[in-house]
Amino acid sequence: MVLAEQLDGEVKPITYELLGKAREVADTLRVEVLCLLIGYGVEKYVEELIYRGADEVILVDDPELRDVEPVKYSRVLVEVAKKYRPRAILVGATNIGRSIAARAAAALGTGLTADCLDVQVDEQGDIVQVRPAFTGNIIAYIKTRTRPAMATLRYRVAKPLPRDTSRKGRVTRLSLELGGDVGVKVLGKVRDKEVRLSDADIIVGCGRGFKKPEDLIMAKELAELLGGVIGVSRPLVDEGWMPRDYQVGFSGNTVRPKLYIALGISGSPQHLAGMKFSDTIIAVNLDPSAPIFRHANYGVVGDIYRVVPKLIEKLRERLNRDEGGNS
């Protein structure tokens, strides 16, 4: 079973990724995929969830569920899990998903594997959850003895299935007792103006090749000219140069941008796991034997302190020329 994630009545992309992974696991086990959709005014997404891989959508649509409140949502998840007894439950490893999944797992008395990179089925037919451990230095393969096995899956690690409008599925509408006031009231909502790293189409990644935190300004300038954002490798986060929200890798964000520019990044397995599925990778590094070059579409062996200013200069010239032509 997949818990569909929605906010303000809009189903989030991670839901379709979860359905893609659930479909893969379910087909191996020869079982069905259920999708639990909780909220208010979200019925319009039922068909879409079926098109994306669900065999049955369980809809709990209630005015009390207008706001995503983890206590109420986890109660719904628990009740539905007890009724349907799924073998496994997949939830997005987002702020919302983590909060709901942890409460539900505790109430169900089952194990929860957080921040998974993958969910697989082994030769014995057991569900295996794959996640980084020891701050990303090793990869752990975990089996949950209790049922249902629960896992939160990171954004961008699974691929959604192509939209198939020929798929047919069932819809079950449930009306549940929500338990009244849970002691939480939503007073208002503030939108984060920052671009989420996992959503960015263009990322300029920064690594140990930078000598001091102030030098990241040139990477930020390059990113802005390209319409992208910057990301960093783990050592820069450990040094306190940037917040962990900007980290790319096992213990940070998994990204799939259209363009990833790796500046001064050697290409450790920890970092590569977070960005190697980018559409196009451009690497700039002084060391011609750096592992990053084995994964890059284009490589520049050179000093980032010479290469990046040149790139910025050429981009500014191009932009100025284009603006002059348009005027």
203 close to 265: Cβ distance less than 8 angstroms: no
**What pLDDT was estimated at residue 325?**
59
pLDDT in tens, 200-255: 999 999 999 999 999 999 999 999 999 999 999 999 999 999 998 899 988 788 89
Domain for residue 287, yes or no?
A: yes
Shared-domain flag, residues 115 and 156: yes
CATH number for the domain harbouring residue 99: 3.40.50.620
- Across the 327 residues of the chain, what is the mean pLDDT of every consecutive 10-residue run? 95 96 97 97 96 98 91 95 97 94 97 94 94 77 94 92 96 87 78 74 96 96 95 94 91 90 93 91 96 96 96 92 65
Domain for residue 188, yes or no?
A: no
Shared-domain flag, residues 135 and 256: no
Report the distance separating Cα 244 and Cα 188, nearest Å: 26
Give residue for tokens 């009231």. 185
Structural domain of 13? 2-173
216 close to 206: Cβ distance less than 8 angstroms: yes
Domain for residue 232, yes or no?
A: yes
Domain edge (last residue) among 140, 173, 206: 173
Shared-domain flag, residues 214 and 168: no
User: ∠ at Cα 164 (163, 170), nearest 5°?
Assistant: 110
Q: At what angle do helices 216-226 and 304-326 cross, to 10 degrees?
A: 30
User: How many C-alpha atoms does 183 have within 13 Å on its Cβ side?
Assistant: 1
**What pLDDT was estimated at residue 179?**
73
Element housing 146 (H / E): none
Core vs surface per residue 212-233: b (16+ CB within 10 A) or e: eeebbebbebbbebbebbbbbb
**What pLDDT was estimated at residue 136?**
63
Shared-domain flag, residues 69 and 218: no
Give how many domains the chain has, as a whole number: 2
Domain for residue 190, yes or no?
A: no
Burial class (CB in 10 A: 0-12, 13-18, 19+), 157: buried
pTM of this prediction exceeds 0.75: yes
Q: How far apart are the first and last CA of the chain?
A: 55
**What pLDDT was estimated at residue 327?**
43
CATH number for the domain harbouring residue 285: 3.40.50.1220
Domain for residue 181, yes or no?
A: no
Shared-domain flag, residues 156 and 207: no
Domain for residue 109, yes or no?
A: yes
